[in-house]
Amino acid sequence: MRFGGIFDTMKVVLDTNILIAASRSRRGASYYLLQLIPDKRFEICLSTPLYFEYLDVLMRPEHRLKGLTDEQIFGTVQYLTSQAHLQEIYFYWRPFLPDVKDDMVLELAVAAQAKRIITFNLKDFRGIDIFDIEAVKPRDFLVEIGEFK
């Protein structure tokens, strides 16, 4: 994003499905996006509840890559934490979305004043435009920041 001749860093929230997709394929936009971190064009936002969801979901057998240890998964999430804007949440918007876990992501985005929620489940975030937040797929976000055409 460009304002007044200088570049501002856009705050974004990564839905858990982005991490799952990145763990399954090194060829997709999710993996590419994670490889850019840290980046001056965007900053990921994280809350304590989302941190624990990342760990919980990535440790599940159905999402775990063969050969990945608990320590490697924990290390990956810790790295994201070290690069993230850590945001406390003082106000809850629940229920706003059909899924409580999506409400948790939205609450983080609102509290952090993030402009994008990066997710594959766009339909799950209908109506968030009233918060001046847009849900986008990872490839669309990469196009937006100039990585893909």
Q: For 10-20, what is each residue's pLDDT tens digit?
A: 999 999 999 99
Task: List the domains of the chain with CATH numbers.
Answer: 2-144 (3.40.50.1010)
As a whole number of angstroms, the distance between CA 101 and CA 60 comes to 17
Assess contact for 116 and 136: CB atoms under 8 A: yes
Q: Residue 128, Cα to own-chain centre: how many angstroms? A: 15
Give the per-residue pLDDT at 57. 94
Assess contact for 136 and 30: CB atoms under 8 A: no
Give the per-residue pLDDT at 7. 58
pLDDT in tens, 87-144: 999 877 778 898 888 999 999 999 999 999 999 999 999 999 999 999 999 999 999 9
Give the per-residue pLDDT at 100. 84
| DSSP for 53-82, written as a single string | HHHHHHHSTTTPPTT--HHHHHHHHHHHHH
Exposure letters 10-23 (e unless 16+ CB within 10 A, then b): bbbbbbbbbbbbbb
Assess contact for 22 and 28: CB atoms under 8 A: yes
Give the per-residue pLDDT at 142. 97
Assess contact for 110 and 90: CB atoms under 8 A: no
Mean pLDDT value of segment 7-34: 93
Assess contact for 64 and 89: CB atoms under 8 A: no
Asked whether the predicted pLDDT for residue 5 surpasses 60, the reply is no
pLDDT in tens, 67-93: 788 999 999 999 999 999 999 998 777
